[in-house]
């Protein structure tokens, strides 16, 4: 069966981070991804990927090809333009204004390819007062309100263990915008510009916390609400168990809460789900003490006898060993040209008629430069001279 994005070519100009994550998803959906780096990336230190030249751990190594182009040379820019004519999508993560200086901005590219869908991923977007402010994931979740409303027991903002603005927000938003633009192109025949701000995307994820403020309600500094567990509702919380592990409880609906109370031996708590003050503290204290009497997995076995909305709080090693996630194909072994098999995070999007496949691997920088150059019509002798002149890499 053909992949969903079979026949779609993506030029991934993003050095790393959200653009690479976006391109990885597009590649998993079947697009041909060509990752374009500088001709000599080691001169700027190189992204994380070059620290592991023979490892597929960095997002984007699968289902992509790599080549190097020196865009600051006349011939390098000419090569890029030839590639741009063949592309459906371009993804870039430069600071605003950089692509214009290089001559590869949307206005320049659409003149040679009116069907191009051109996505720019930046911290704060292409306009606004913060347009030129530099930043990273921690800064975007700060200004977007997530960090300030995620605090430890001592009130200090707690930094998440993964990059939420870059991946969960910005990278995903870019994929959605690109796919929407592809659909629009099917109708109009023309491409368009996709402006993705990691901060905008985080603000979108913060909807449950920010909406009350927009509606004029008074919200605490920590943005407390039921969904974040900061209101310390007994039925939406995290509890420590006998073995020092944790279990999450999300018994929001009254029937789930009733099942939880019965299984914890306190049916009398059922009618007090929304109690405040001393009664709520009594229920919370009982739940805390009761969960300490058994191990996490013992509680899971007991509470999953009925619908109660509970789940284990996993460590990374437990996540990758979970039988459900394995069955869902979230951790897959795929053929690799040098490793035999490579363990990877599986596709996050499952399509019934367009299954995921690792079609190719990029094991080193510039691995496919010759292949791509020959496809563009360059002869081997010319390719050799361009490489010696450091126009390509």
Task: Note the pLDDT of residue 49.
Answer: 45
Q: In this predicted model, which residue has the larger pLDDT, 79 or 152?
A: 79
pLDDT at 21 over 60: yes
What pLDDT, in 10s, does the model give residues 293-344?
999 999 999 999 999 999 999 999 999 999 999 999 999 888 888 778 888 8
Give the tokens for residue 238: 């995290």
The arithmetic mean of pLDDT across residues 11-25, rounded, is 90
Same structural domain, 46 and 186:
yes
109 and 164 belong to one structural domain: yes
220 falls within a domain: no
Q: Which band of pLDDT confidence, cut at 50, 70 and 90, is reported for residue 13? A: very high
CATH code assigned at 301: 3.30.1540.10
Same domain (yes/no): 259, 381: no
If asked whether residues 53 and 171 sit together in one domain, one would say: yes
The closest of 72, 113, 69, 66 to 89, measured between CA atoms, is 113
Distance of alpha carbon 328 from alpha carbon 323, whole angstroms: 9
Helices (H), the chain: 18-28, 74-86, 98-102, 106-112, 137-143, 172-188, 198-205, 207-214, 254-263, 277-291, 296-303, 316-321, 323-327, 369-375, 380-388
Q: Does residue 169 share a domain with residue 59? A: yes
Domain end call among 287, 312, 337 = 312
Give the C-alpha separation, 81 to 109, whole Å: 7
Q: Are residues 187 and 61 in the same domain?
A: yes
Is 219 inside a domain boundary? Answer: no
Is residue 227 over pLDDT 60?
A: no
The overall longest dimension of the chain from CA atoms, in Å, is 84
Which residues are within 8 A (CB) of 270 and not within 5 positions of it... i.e. 6 or more apart?
A: 257, 258, 261, 262
Which pLDDT score, from 0 to 100, does residue 83 have?
A: 98
Q: What is the DSSP letter of 227?
A: G
For residue 272 the two structure tokens come to: 């007090």
Strand, coil or helix: 189: coil
Boundary (domain end) residue, out of 312, 327, 362? 312
Q: What pLDDT score was predicted for residue 226? A: 55
- Is residue 147 domain-shared with residue 264, that is, in the same domain? no
Q: What is the pLDDT of residue 222?
A: 53
Does residue 4 register a pLDDT over 90? Answer: yes
Question: Sorting pLDDT into bands at 50, 70 and 90, what band is 221?
Answer: low
- Shared-domain flag, residues 166 and 46: yes
Indicate whether 14 belongs to any domain: yes
With b for 16 or more beta-carbon neighbours within 10 A and e for fewer, the 317-335 pattern comes to: eeeeeeeeeeeeebeeebe
Query: How many C-alpha atoms does 171 have within 13 Å on its Cβ side?
Result: 23
The CATH number for 376's domain is 3.40.50.10540
Residues recognised as catalytic: 136, 166
- Shared domain for 197 and 231, answered yes or no, is no
* pLDDT value, residue 363: 74
pLDDT for res 59:
42
Residue 52: which residues within 8 A CB-CB, separation 6 or more? 58
- How confident is the model at residue 341, as a pLDDT? 83
337 lies in a domain?
A: no
- Per-residue confidence (pLDDT) for residue 219, from 0 to 100: 64
Strand partners, 117: 89
pLDDT of residue 225: 52
Task: Tell whether 186 and 293 lie within a shared domain.
Answer: no
Q: What is the pLDDT of residues 146-189, one digit of tens each?
A: 998 887 777 788 888 888 999 989 999 999 999 999 999 999 99
Residues 301 and 378 in one domain: no
Q: Which domain holds residue 377?
A: 9-204+349-388
How far apart (Å, rounded) are the C-alpha atoms in residues 157 and 289?
Answer: 27
Q: How confident is the model over 109-125, as a mean pLDDT?
A: 97
Q: 3-state secondary structure string, 174-188?
A: HHHHHHHHHHHHHHH
pLDDT confidence band for 216 (50 / 70 / 90) = confident
- Residues 174 and 64 occupy one common structural domain: yes
318 within domain boundaries? no
The pLDDT of residue 1 is 76
Is a pLDDT exceeding 90 seen at residue 131? Answer: yes
Question: What is the distance between the alpha carbons of residues 193 and 125, in angstroms, rounded to a whole number?
Answer: 12
* Model pLDDT, residue 98: 96
- Token pair 């001709």 is found at 39
Q: Is residue 188 part of a domain?
A: yes
Mean pLDDT of the chain: 90
The answer to whether residue 291 is domain-embedded is yes
- Reported as a single tens digit per residue, the pLDDT across 23-54 is 999 999 999 999 998 887 766 554 444 444 44
Of 349, 315, 310, 311, the C-alpha closest to 329 is 349
What sign does the dihedral 148-149-153-159 (CA atoms) show? Answer: negative
pLDDT tens by residue, 251-291? 999 999 999 999 999 999 999 999 999 999 999 999 999 99
pLDDT for the residue 224: 52
* Per-residue model confidence (pLDDT) at position 205: 93
Q: What are the pLDDT digits (tens) for 339-388?
A: 788 888 999 999 999 988 888 888 778 889 999 999 999 999 999 999 99
Would you state the pLDDT for residue 292?
98
pLDDT band at 125 (very low <50, low <70, confident <90, very high): very high
Domain assignment present for 192: yes
The total of structural domains in the chain comes to 2
SS3 36: strand
């Amino acid at each position: 069966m053909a992949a969903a994005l079979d026949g779609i070519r993506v030029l991934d100009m993003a050095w790393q981070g959200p653009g690479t994550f976006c391109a990885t998803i597009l590649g998993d959906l079947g697009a041909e991804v060509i990752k374009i780096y500088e001709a000599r990336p080691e001169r700027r230190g190189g992204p994380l990927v070059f620290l592991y030249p023979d490892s597929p751990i960095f997002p984007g190594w699968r289902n992509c090809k790599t080549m190097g182009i020196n865009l600051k040379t006349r011939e390098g820019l000419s090569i890029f333009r030839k590639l741009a004519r063949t592309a459906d999508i371009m993804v870039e993560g430069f600071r605003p204004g950089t692509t214009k200086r290089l001559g590869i901005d949307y206005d320049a590219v659409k003149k040679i390819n009116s069907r191009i869908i051109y996505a720019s991923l930046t911290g704060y977007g292409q306009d606004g007062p913060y347009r030129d402010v530099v930043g990273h994931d921690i800064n975007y979740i700060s200004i977007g309100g997530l960090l300030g409303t995620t605090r430890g027991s001592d009130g200090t903002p707690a930094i998440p263990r993964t990059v939420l603005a870059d991946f969960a927000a910005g990278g995903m938003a870019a994929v959605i915008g690109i796919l929407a633009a592809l659909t629009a192109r099917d109708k109009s025949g023309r491409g368009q510009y996709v402006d993705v701000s990691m901060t905008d995307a985080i603000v979108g994820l913060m909807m449950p916390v920010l909406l009350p403020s927009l509606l004029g309600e008074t919200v605490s500094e920590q943005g407390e609400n039921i969904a974040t567990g900061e209101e310390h509702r007994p039925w939406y919380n995290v509890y420590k168990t006998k073995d020092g592990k944790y279990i999450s409880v999300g018994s929001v609906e009254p029937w789930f809460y009733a099942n939880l109370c019965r299984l914890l031996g306190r049916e009398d708590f059922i009618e007090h789900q929304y109690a405040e003050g001393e009664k709520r503290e009594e229920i919370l204290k009982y739940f805390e003490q009761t969960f300490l009497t058994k191990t996490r997995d013992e509680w899971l076995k007991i509470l999953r006898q009925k619908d109660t909305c509970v789940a284990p709080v996993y460590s990374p090693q437990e996540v990758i060993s979970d039988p459900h996630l394995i069955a869902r194909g979230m951790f897959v072994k795929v053929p690799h040209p040098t490793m035999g098999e490579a363990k990877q995070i599986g596709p996050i999007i499952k399509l019934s008629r367009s299954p995921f496949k690792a079609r190719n691997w990029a094991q080193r920088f510039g691995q496919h430069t010759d292949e791509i150059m020959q496809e563009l019509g360059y002869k081997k002798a010319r390719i050799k001279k361009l490489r010696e002149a450091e126009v390509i890499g």
